[in-house]
Amino acid sequence: MRSDMMKKGFERAPHRSLFKAMGYTDNELQRPIIGVANAANELIPGHIHLDRVAEAVKAGIRMAGGTPMEFPTIGVCDGIAMGHLGMKYSLGSRELIADSVEIMATAYPFDGLVLIPNCDKIVPGMIMAAARLDIPAIVISGGAMLAGECGGKTIDLITVFEGMGRLKVGEISADELKELEENACPGAGSCSGMFTANSMNCLTEALGIALPGNGTIPAIDAARIRLAKETGRQIMALVDQGITFRQFLSPEAFHNAVAVDMAFGGSTNTSLHLPAIAHEAGVDLPLTTFNEISEKTPHICNMSPGGPHHIEDLHRAGGVQAIMKQLAAVNLLHTQCLTATGKKMADNLQTAAVRDHEVIRPLDNPYHATGGLAVLQGNLAADGAVVKQAAVAPEMLVHEGPARVFNSEEEAFDAIINRRIQPGDVLVIRYEGPKGGPGMREMLSPTSAIAGVGLDKEVALLTDGRFSGGTRGAAIGHISPEAAEGGLIGLVEEGDLIAIDIPGKKLTLKVTDEILARRRKNWQPLTAKITTGYMARYARQVTSASTGAVFK
Q: pLDDT, tens digit, for every residue of 484-539?
A: 999 999 999 999 999 999 999 999 999 999 999 999 999 998 999 999 999 999 99
- Is the CB of residue 163 less than 8 Å from the CB of residue 277? no
The share of the chain scoring above pLDDT 70, in percent, equals: 100
The residue type found at 246 is R
The C-alpha atoms of residue 343 and residue 545 are separated, in whole angstroms, by: 34
All residues at 6 or more sequence positions from 416 whose CB lies less than 8 Å from its CB, including other chains: 165, 427, 446, 449, 450, 453, 455
Q: Is the pLDDT of residue 298 over 90?
A: yes
Q: SS3 for 290?
A: helix
The C-alpha atoms of residue 225 and residue 71 are separated, in whole angstroms, by: 19
- pLDDT of 71: 98
DSSP-assigned beta bridge partners for residue 114: 36, 138
Is residue 444 very low, low, confident or very high in pLDDT (cuts 50, 70, 90)? confident
Rounded to the nearest 10°, the torsion over CA 388, 394, 398, 400 is: -100
Positions marked catalytic:
468
The C-alpha atoms of residue 57 and residue 175 are separated, in whole angstroms, by: 43
Smallest CA-to-CA distance from 350 within 370, 368, 324, 369 is with: 324
pLDDT tens-digit readout, 199-244? 999 999 999 999 999 999 999 999 999 999 999 999 999 999 999 9
The C-alpha atoms of residue 411 and residue 53 are separated, in whole angstroms, by: 42
pLDDT tens-digit readout, 152-177? 999 999 999 989 889 988 899 999 99
Q: Is the pLDDT of residue 469 over 80?
A: no
Helix (H) or strand (E) holding 37: strand 33-38
Q: SS3 for 425?
A: coil
At residue 337, φ and ψ (nearest 5 deg) are -70, 140
At residue 140, φ and ψ (nearest 5 deg) are -135, 110
User: Which is it for strands 460-463 and 426-429: parallel, antiparallel or unpaired?
Assistant: parallel
Give CB contacts under 8 A, 24+ apart, made by 19-24.
24/67
pLDDT tens-digit readout, 382-429? 999 999 999 899 999 999 999 999 999 999 999 998 889 999 999 999
At residue 478, φ and ψ (nearest 5 deg) are 65, 25
Within the chain, what is the greatest distance between any pair of CA atoms? 76
Is residue 445 very low, low, confident or very high in pLDDT (cuts 50, 70, 90)? confident
The residue type found at 479 is I
Helix (H) or strand (E) holding 35: strand 33-38
The residue type found at 123 is V
Q: Is the pLDDT of residue 147 over 80?
A: yes
Higher-confidence residue of 470 and 90: namely 90
The C-alpha atoms of residue 491 and residue 500 are separated, in whole angstroms, by: 17
